[in-house]
């Protein structure tokens, strides 16, 4: 599946300033791992030492937070958009 | 601002220069303001504060920005009132209400916006924006109007009419988003990355959030530079609760308190949106987001940005977090109004009802000095108290007899 991943400003230095990166993946977890093909630093920024997604990183498929879906196992359809959004805004 | 040093990541400690940024590039953690505490100790005193204006700017040495040229909008320094009748109804001893309905747009959000706006002007920002559940929308729209800035205010489309009207009146661009607050917030985080605007609670958030500390500063000053034993604070994003706790600690750090404060911090959530209360009750390390369904729309944040810090604050100080029903919220609004003459919005109903619940559970004790934070005015959420008890006690003909018939207890000799 071809997936568009929207990159937040904080991480754009890892992909030549691009706001969107295209990867091949079948699930959200695969899409995030595939970002390492662009820059191997992506995983260090997104995951903590224990391999969990950092607690201030939110991931969306379309408009939905993956915690309301199947988390990193959420399956993707061709052409869907995955967004990485910092969790500390608002309130 | 000699006493402000850097922004620092609250997760990993990475430092950044002072700028309109809000997350750590390395771990996504929230950025906070780091102060030069020694410089503050040397500058600030109880006397210097007492000599300041009756507004949040009396604490200028503890804030991350200089007061704006026009500080005439009186934000903060709201009354702390002793609430004996409320205390008596709840079986408690010493209860105080911090009445933050008395701000320019009738909620505590005027405090945080005043700080955010001053910082925005310092950064040369021309457009002020926010993602809001209503109170922040009011505050941003009014402050931008007064400063002559353009404003864009993003709200969930199903917000109370009063909160929309009281934002639009200031000439703000009101963007009603077809979704809940968390949808609004996500959209704004993306728009903030593309515009050179100051989003009060996004890229200005490290500074904005500091404004909430003034609630702790005032509480302590108004108690004669003592601290409460226990405070009850409404929880939406968790920022207010976190900053009130930090505010009490700061007062000690800069030498304004003689003893290290041991304030117990309790939180208040609506059952229909209680992600932090649920994590607390389950003793969980992870806060799971929820889809809000409550009349307390100002607290309807299902994915609380500062939830983890709020949870830590409550656990570390041995407080509690209640989750109350919509019926309890309405009863809480009525109880506060009936006993103390203070009409709070739904968030206040949540806070009063939570105090009641926590008192019943023995978490808040009768031997404690308690402060309750009432953060917004009831006229903003009038619909919540429509129905029985909101109309006239009697409708009568314009005659003395009709009055006597309707209210026989007022007549002599009966």
Looking at the DSSP assignment, which residues form a beta bridge with residue B16?
B7
Query: Residue B281: what are its φ and ψ, rounded to 5°?
Result: -65, -35
* pLDDT 10s digits, B358-408: 999 999 999 999 999 999 999 999 999 998 888 999 999 999 999 999 999
Tell which residue, B202, B32, B11, has the closest CA to residue A56. B11
Instruction: Report the percent of chain B where pLDDT is more than 90.
Output: 95
In this predicted structure, the answer to whether residue B288 has a pLDDT above a threshold of 70 is yes
A17 reaches B (C-beta below 8 A): no
Q: Which residue of B has its CA nearest to A49?
A: B27
Q: Is residue B136 part of a domain?
A: no
Shortest Cα distance, chain A CAs vs residue B368, angstroms: 29
Q: Which of A67-76, B61-70, B245-254 has the lowest mean pLDDT?
A: B61-70
Hey, which bits of B230-263 come out as E strands? Answer: 230-234
**Chain-centre distance for alpha carbon A72:** 9
Length of chain B: 414
- Cβ contact (<8 Å) for B301 and A90? yes
A36-47 pLDDT per residue, tens: 999 999 999 999
CA distances in angstroms from B41 to B3, B143, B252, B375, listed in the order given: 10, 31, 10, 30
Residue B70 pLDDT greater than 80, yes or no: no
Q: Is B71's pLDDT higher than 90?
A: no
Question: What is the pLDDT, as a whole number, of residue B223?
Answer: 98
Quick check: is B236 in a domain? yes
**Residue B328 CB partners (closer than 8 Å, separation 6+):** B349, B353, B356, B357
The pLDDT value recorded for residue A90 is 77
CA distance A7 to A16: 11
Separation of CA B400 from chain center:
47
Which among B105, B64, B60, B97 has a CA at the least distance from the CA of B81? B97
A91: nearest CB among B25, B286, B304 = B304
Q: pTM of the entire structure? A: 0.96
- Indicate the helix (H) or strand (E) that contains B253: helix B239-253
Checking if the pLDDT of B2 tops 80, the result is: no
Decide if B152 contacts B168 (C-beta within 8 A): no
What are the domain boundaries of chain A? 2-86
Considering only the beta carbons, identify the residue of A19, A55, A90 that sits closest to B131: A90
pLDDT over 80 (residue B268): yes
CATH number, position B321: 3.40.50.1100
Residue B414 clears pLDDT 70, i.e. is over it: no
B290 to chain A: closest CA residue: A68
In this prediction, residue B75 carries a pLDDT of 97
The residues near B398 (Cβ < 8 Å, ≥ 6 apart) are none
Residue B317 lies in a domain: yes
Domain that holds residue B279: 80-105+212-385
Q: Contact A91/B238, CB-based, under 8 Å?
A: yes
Please indicate, yes or no, if residue B187 is contained in any of the structural domains. Answer: no
Which uninterrupted H or E stretch holds B121?
helix B109-122
Please write the tens of the pLDDT for every residue from B192-247: 999 999 999 999 999 999 999 999 999 999 999 999 999 999 999 999 999 999 99
Contacts of A89 in chain B (CB under 8 A): 22, 131, 185, 188-189, 192, 199, 201-202, 205, 305
Q: What is the pLDDT of residue B387?
A: 83
Is residue B249 domain-resident?
Answer: yes
The reply to whether B295 falls in a domain is yes
Does residue A70 surpass a pLDDT of 90?
A: yes
Name residues whose C-beta falls within 8 Å of residue B391's C-beta, 6 or more positions apart in sequence: none
Please name the residues in contact with B30: beta carbons below 8 A apart, sequence gap of 6 or more.
A56, A88, B9, B10, B11, B22, B23, B24, B205, B206, B305, B306
Q: Which two tokens stand for residue B100?
A: 């933050």
Query: For residue B73, what pLDDT band results from cuts at 50, 70 and 90?
Result: confident
B188 CB neighbours in chain A (<8 A) are 89-90
Domain count, chain B: 1
For B113-163, the pLDDT digits (tens) are: 999 999 999 999 999 999 999 999 999 999 999 999 999 999 999 999 999
CATH code of A2-86, in short, is 3.10.20.30
Average pLDDT over residues B98-102: 98
Cross-strand partners of A90:
none
Q: Helix B135-147 crosses helix B161-168 at what angle (to 10 degrees)?
A: 10
Under DSSP, is residue B294 helix (H, G, I), strand (E, B) or coil? coil
């Amino acid at each position: 599946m071809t997936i568009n991943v929207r990159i937040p400003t904080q991480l754009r230095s890892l992909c030549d300033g691009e706001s969107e990166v295209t990867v091949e993946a079948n699930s959200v977890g695969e899409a995030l791992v595939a970002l390492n093909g662009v820059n191997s630093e992506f995983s260090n920024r997104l995951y903590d030492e224990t391999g969990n997604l950092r607690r201030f990183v939110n991931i969306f498929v379309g408009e939905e937070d993956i915690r309301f879906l199947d988390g990193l196992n959420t399956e993707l359809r061709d052409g869907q958009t995955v967004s990485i959004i910092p969790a500390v805004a608002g309130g | 601002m000699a006493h402000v040093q850097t922004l620092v990541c609250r997760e990993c400690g990475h430092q950044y220069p002072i700028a309109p940024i809000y997350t750590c590039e390395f771990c996504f953690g929230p950025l906070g303001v780091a102060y030069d505490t020694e410089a503050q100790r040397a500058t600030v005193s109880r006397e210097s504060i007492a000599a300041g204006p009756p507004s949040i700017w009396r604490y200028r040495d503890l804030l991350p920005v200089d007061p704006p040229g026009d500080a005439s909008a009186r934000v903060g320094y709201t009354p702390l009132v002793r609430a004996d009748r409320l205390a008596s109804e709840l079986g408690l001893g010493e209860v105080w209400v911090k009445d933050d309905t008395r701000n320019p747009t009738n909620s505590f959000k005027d405090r945080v916006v005043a700080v955010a706006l001053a910082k925005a002007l310092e950064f040369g920002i021309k457009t002020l924006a926010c993602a809001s559940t209503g109170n922040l929308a009011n505050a941003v729209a009014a402050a931008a109007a007064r400063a002559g800035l353009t404003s864009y205010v993003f709200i969930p489309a199903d917000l109370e009419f009063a909160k929309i009207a009281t934002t639009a009146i200031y000439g703000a661009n009101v963007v009603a988003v077809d979704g809940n607050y968390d949808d609004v917030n996500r959209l704004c985080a993306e728009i903030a990355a593309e515009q050179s605007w100051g989003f009060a609670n996004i890229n200005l958030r490290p500074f904005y959030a500091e404004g909430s500390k003034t609630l702790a500063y005032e509480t302590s000053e108004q108690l004669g530079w003592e601290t409460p034993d226990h405070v009850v604070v409404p929880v939406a994003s968790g920022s207010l609760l976190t900053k009130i706790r930090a505010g009490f600690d700061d007062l000690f750090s800069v030498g304004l308190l003689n003893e290290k404060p041991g304030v117990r911090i309790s939180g208040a959530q609506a059952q229909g949106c209680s992600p932090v209360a649920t994590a607390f009750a389950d003793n969980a390390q992870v806060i799971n987001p929820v889809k809000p369904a409550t009349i307390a729309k100002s607290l309807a944040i299902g994915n609380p940005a500062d939830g983890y810090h709020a949870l830590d604050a409550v656990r570390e100080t041995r407080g509690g977090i209640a989750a109350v029903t919509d019926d309890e919220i309405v009863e809480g609004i009525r109880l506060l109004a009936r006993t103390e003459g203070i009409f709070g919005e739904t968030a206040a109903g949540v806070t009063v009802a939570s105090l009641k619940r926590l008192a019943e559970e023995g978490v808040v004790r009768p031997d404690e000095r308690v402060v309750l934070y009432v953060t917004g005015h009831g006229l903003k959420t009038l619909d919540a108290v429509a129905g029985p008890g909101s109309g006239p006690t009697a409708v009568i003909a314009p005659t003395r007899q009709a009055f006597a018939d309707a209210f026989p207890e007022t007549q002599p000799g009966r």
